A = this chain, B = another copy of it.
């Protein structure tokens, strides 16, 4: 049974869904809006986690774990945050089921097991964490607290898409507490840079770093920093956010500390997160009609070896050579899989690993043994070459680095090619409709104009880029004066 993916040109959205399911990345589940992350998809997510976790620890953070549930009264404490998430909360109201007296074998919610106070399944953990920090922080000696959590969160989204927007998703959320405003802002910016570093250097996806407008800010934050990337269809995807929370949560939960001068002050806070949404960014940045393309640094398997043989004796000879290639690759920390299953033909296997995005494929037949060569195929370019077995491991090591940087270069060229500057609203709409992509345009700085443009064009301000060029101009919508262009796009 061959797996069919709708071509990108025909229906990009369907291409994406087909690819996610057929490449065994994720699947829909029996629970509305929740996905199953399949082993191949989860394997990539694990690689992402490992790399990020190391970066968090290298910048002084430690991991911890806070409860899944937030009592409603705590959830309400930071009003803006509560308001922002209230409309999409899963709410636990009971703690027991009982046999349905009218329907044998069926269960009903036990009305006698109603919770005194409803519990919210965390959509984000600021409330429960800051309520906890209250007990941990007394003096400046307890600061900074630099804590991260890997967890599942739930936001009851109405329209969901695998990885991009699901009711439950996996993420990490950093929550830090600081003695000064300046230190908290530095932390916010540091973690934005960690995210940008990860997305560019591991995912091979170029990003624009910037600050969100008030409209797009995280509910409860004073400032939201973000990284934005451009997908192949010219739509933007927010890849990560880092929030400067000011003293909002410290005030809501009354978290004060004694500073070095002996005075009481509220603590300063940040929070920052990336999620399984990054899987969507990865897929939509590099993949093609043959399936997934995984950057080598995040590939759970970097090289697959497929034997082409007749009979057991032939396989045995090939396997002997393959085993020595495998050992040499593993010594260089190249992850390698040998697929010698006899239940599938080589052609089927070629297609399967192309679909799954394994960066390099080695095919080795009986004739290759005589010539001391193998056929090496690159997933990203779909090119093949015949390579000597001697020194193969060195060649592959270099090639994997090459693929990693080629993928980034290709994505960067695409992004640059899809980045436009416009001066008028007509031009703005024309570019969005005909070319899509990132569009830089002057904006008068008001939420009203931003809202109008969104209504009329579906484009939003992705961010005000960091170190943005200051230049006088007029807002494309209102004609009012503006000091800088901001980054617009239609977005996921």
Contacts and interface: CB of A to CB of B under 8 A. Distances in A.
A128 B96 CA distance: 19
A64 B36 contact: yes
Interface in A74-103: 74-76, 79, 82, 86-99
A238 interface: no
A226 interface: no
B95 A90 contact: yes
Interface stretch (A37-45, A309-317, A402-410, A468-476): A37-45
B91 A72 contact: no
Given A42-B63, A92-B121, 8 more contacts: A30-B131, A31-B128, A39-B63, A76-B105, A87-B96, A87-B97, A95-B156, A109-B118
Contacts of A71: 30-31
B29 A67 contact: yes
Contact of A42 (B39, B64, B67, B69): B64
A29 B82 contact: no
Interface in A194-208: none
A2 interface: no
Contacts of A152: 68, 151-152
A459 interface: no
Secondary structure dominating the interface of A: mixed
Contacts of A492: none
A478 interface: no
Nearest to A135: B27
How many copies of the shown chain assemble into the complex?
2
B30 A68 contact: no
A92 B95 contact: no
Given A29-B132, A37-B65, A147-B39, A97 B90 contact: no
B86 A98 contact: yes
Q: Which 9 A-B pairs have the closest CB atoms?
A: A34-B67, A37-B65, A39-B62, A86-B97, A95-B156, A91-B94, A31-B67, A93-B93, A90-B92
A43 to B, nearest CB: 7
Contacts of A89: 95-97
Interface of A: 27, 29-31, 34-39, 42-43, 45-46, 62-72, 74-76, 79, 82, 86-99, 105-107, 109, 118-121, 128, 131-132, 135, 141, 147, 151-152, 154, 156, 168, 170, 343
Chain B CB within 10 A, most for which of A29, A46, A109 = A29
A42 B151 CA distance: 13
A168 B69 contact: yes
A34 B68 contact: yes
Nearest to A83: B99
Nearest to A166: B67
A64 B44 CA distance: 11
B105 A79 contact: yes
A218 to B, nearest CB: 18
B95 A91 contact: yes
A154 B68 contact: yes
A120 B39 CA distance: 24
Contacts of A93: 91-94, 109
A349 to B, nearest CB: 13
Contacts of A95: 88-91, 156
Interface-centre pick from A71, A119, A120 (highest chain B CB count, 10 A): A119
A472 B42 CA distance: 52
A70 B119 CA distance: 17
A67 B35 contact: yes
A114 to B, nearest CB: 10
A90 B76 CA distance: 21
A168 B36 contact: no
A363 to B, nearest CB: 22
A119 B31 contact: yes
B62 A43 contact: yes
A63 B43 CA distance: 7
Given A91-B97, A92-B91, A107-B86, A132 B79 contact: no
Nearest to A121: B92
A28 to B, nearest CB: 9
Given A94-B93, A97-B87, A36 B107 contact: no
B76 A106 contact: yes
Contacts of A135: 27
Nearest to A62: B39
A365 B220 CA distance: 49
Nearest to A140: B343
B30 A128 contact: yes
Indicate the member of A29, A67, A99, A156 with the most B CB atoms within 10 Å. Answer: A67
